[in-house]
Structure 1
Amino acid sequence: MQTQKLQAKNAFLYGVITLVSIIVVPLLLLGCAWLTQHPYFGIAGYFVAFLILWITGHFFGFSVFSGVGISVFVFLMFTGPALSYLYLEKTGIKQTAIIVDIRHYNVVDTLDGFYYSERDWDCKLVTTDRKPIRYALENENGCLGNLKAGQKIEIVEDPSGWVRPMTAAKLYGSPSWESWVSAGIGLLFQVWILFRLRSRK
């Protein structure tokens, strides 16, 4: 009798863990990916995601410093921008902006012991009636080296101010492969969790 009660308790616990792993963890990671897109609080998304995956990985028994680190980097790297694109496409406001200043700076990356210098651009914008736009247009959002101060460009701006603006050409001309990569990574993560749960049963 005691054995049956223990088995029933373990089965219930297994079901709860499965439900949390399949539904709650991916939703929390999606929230972290969205948080990474905020200009000021983006780093918090990476920190929270690392804690979530560290706890999950520790419970299921994989290497924290390799598996978790790679999972955090890859998942957030693709999912965050994909959510940002989708959000701006659905709720963004398209308007004409004027570039008042372009700043460029060098970013030095290390790869295999060699140094590579990459130039990034930062465009300060105002509206056509000279009202400043809250966030500057960054390199990855369409501020490219061929733009000039005083030039008018079409941008899509988030009315809530959560994500930075993006040029209309960048937003509507972007491929959808990032969303598919995000879905693929999420699916593989789910399969891996189910496999680990099955092996622990």
Structure 2
Amino acid sequence: MMGRTDGGRGFPLIAPHRSTWVAVPTAVVTPLALIGLAALATNPDYLAGGAVVGGLVLIVVLFVIMWLSGRGWVVGVAAVLGFGLLAISGPAYEDGVMAHRGVRTKVMVTAAHHVEDSEGQFSWHCDVKRADGRPLPHATLKDDRCWGAWHVGQPEEILVDPDGWVAPSPVDTDYSGRTVEVVLTAAAAVLFAVLVLTGARLGRGTARRG
């Protein structure tokens, strides 16, 4: 049975003898799941789904951590680490893919579109096709790589993932920071796991005293 063991605030802690069975899988699986969903979102076809599911997973896990620990500061730190994993691991994966297997590819701009983002800002997106006619997944240039309707018909050279998972990127993209991204991802994953286990231990101690 669970009791109110959080010092009178009314948040029920999980029973001490059962907390380990919840804490260990939460500590191990959650960072891996968040990293996997962030990697999934690097494919433009799955960007929205990966981002939404990743956010929902983190929200559910934060409630579990509150249930385990009964401490708001543990939940707050876990939220920062969790959002950090979602934000950093995706770019780290994408940069690693392009740095190791990206291929310089000649393309031709075939169309240009004026696009409005969620903040009401307009930018140009250009459709491209490979010069050799072969299929090119996610064949779009964005941001400062598409300069308007006059760009149609112009040749370009971009970096392409041969497997078609990651969207093309400019050939002059700097991937030197990917090592830092990987280190930060690993550190956030380890800290998240340690935090969950520490929070569960604190919760068990409070439950025993209650």
Question: Above 0.5 in TM-score?
Answer: yes
The normalised TM-score by structure 1 is 0.69
* Alpha carbons of structure 1 residues 157 and 21: separation in structure 2 relative to 1, 3 Å: same
User: What is the CA–CA distance in structure 2 between the aligned matches of 1:54 and 1:123, rounded to whole Å?
Assistant: 36
Residue 145 of structure 2 corresponds to 143
Runs of 5+ consecutive residues of structure 1 not aligned to the other structure: 1-8, 110-116
- SS at 2:156's partner residue? strand
User: What is the CA–CA distance in structure 1 between the aligned matches of 2:195 and 2:124, rounded to whole Å?
Assistant: 40
How many residue pairs get aligned? The number is 180
Is the 2:113–2:124 contact (alpha carbons within 8 Å) kept by the matching residues of 1?
A: yes
Is the 1:78–1:182 contact (alpha carbons within 8 Å) kept by the matching residues of 2?
A: yes
Runs of 5+ consecutive residues of structure 2 not aligned to the other structure: 1-15, 205-210
Whether 1:96 aligns to 2:109 is no
The normalised TM-score by structure 2 is 0.67
* Alpha carbons of structure 1 residues 48 and 71: separation in structure 2 relative to 1, 3 Å: farther
Is the 1:125–1:132 contact (alpha carbons within 8 Å) kept by the matching residues of 2?
A: no
Percent identity over the alignment is 24
Whether 1:30 aligns to 2:32 is no
CA offsets, 1:121-171, max 9 Å, x none?
A: 32211222344533233425x62438933333322222222221112212x
CA offsets, 1:55-81, max 9 Å, x none?
A: 321122177xx9587666543233212
Greater length-normalized contact order (CA 8 Å, ≥ 6 residues apart)? 2
* Letter matched to residue 40 of structure 2: L
* Alpha carbons of structure 1 residues 185 and 198: separation in structure 2 relative to 1, 3 Å: same
* Alpha carbons of structure 1 residues 69 and 173: separation in structure 2 relative to 1, 3 Å: closer
Is the 1:46–1:72 contact (alpha carbons within 8 Å) kept by the matching residues of 2?
A: no
Whether 1:107 aligns to 2:97 is no
Is the 2:108–2:128 contact (alpha carbons within 8 Å) kept by the matching residues of 1?
A: yes
Is the 2:98–2:159 contact (alpha carbons within 8 Å) kept by the matching residues of 1?
A: yes
Aligned alpha-carbon RMSD (Å): 3.3
- SS at 2:145's partner residue? coil
Is the 1:50–1:72 contact (alpha carbons within 8 Å) kept by the matching residues of 2?
A: no
TM-superposed CA distance for 1:86, in Å, is 0.8
Residue 137 of structure 2 corresponds to 134
User: What is the CA–CA distance in structure 1 between the aligned matches of 2:89 and 2:46, rounded to whole Å?
Assistant: 17
Whether 1:56 aligns to 2:66 is no
Is the 2:27–2:192 contact (alpha carbons within 8 Å) kept by the matching residues of 1?
A: no
Structure with the higher strand share, 1 or 2? 1
